[in-house]
Amino acid sequence: MIKVGQLERLTQNRVIKLFQNHLVYTYLGNWKDRENNRNIEAEYLTQWLTGRGVEETLINKTIRELDKAAALAENQNLYDANKAVYRLLRYGVKVKRGRVNKLKPCG
């Protein structure tokens, strides 16, 4: 007899194959028990943004803004934090380059 958790895992495996085979995503594995597992993977994001020609200072500021949005404030629930992160990912993180007052979307 198959348990609910096993059915869920089978579904997850099918979704992983779909992303790999049809959408050409790289599967990084199940990080459930990974040490230092975080919502914002700064190392991967830094590599990707660097590859797109984004300056290091803008990358650091962008990661800081994403971390702030992902952190649950005292009166904030998980839904609102996820919505804030999604908004930044969808519409871009507006950060300032040095002391210049002009905002520039990163990525």
Query: For 63-96, how does the pLDDT look when each residue is reduced to its tens digit (9 = 90+)?
Result: 999 999 999 888 889 999 999 999 999 999 998 8
What mean pLDDT is reported for the chain? 88
Distance between CA atoms of residues 10 and 2, nearest Å: 10
Residue 13 domain-assigned? no
> Tens digits of per-residue pLDDT, 21-61?
999 999 988 888 888 888 889 999 999 999 999 999 999 99
Instruction: Flag whether 87 is in a domain.
Output: yes
Phi and psi dihedrals of 96, rounded to 5? -95, 140
Q: 36 by DSSP, 3-state: which?
A: coil
Provide the residue count of the chain. 107
Residue 107, pLDDT score = 63
Residue appearing with tokens 């629930």 = 77
Could you tell me if residue 101 is inside a domain? yes
> Quick one: residue 95, left, alpha or beta (phi over 0 = left, psi -120 to 50 = alpha)?
beta
Give the pLDDT confidence score for residue 6 in this predicted structure: 86
Classify residue 46: in a domain, yes or no: yes
What total of structural domains would you count in the chain?
A: 1
What is residue 79's predicted lDDT score, i.e. its pLDDT? 93
User: What is the domain range of residue 51?
Assistant: 41-106
Residue 88 lies in a domain: yes
The predicted structure's pLDDT at residue 33: 83
Please state, in angstroms and rounded to a whole number, the distance separating the CA atoms of residues 50 and 39: 20
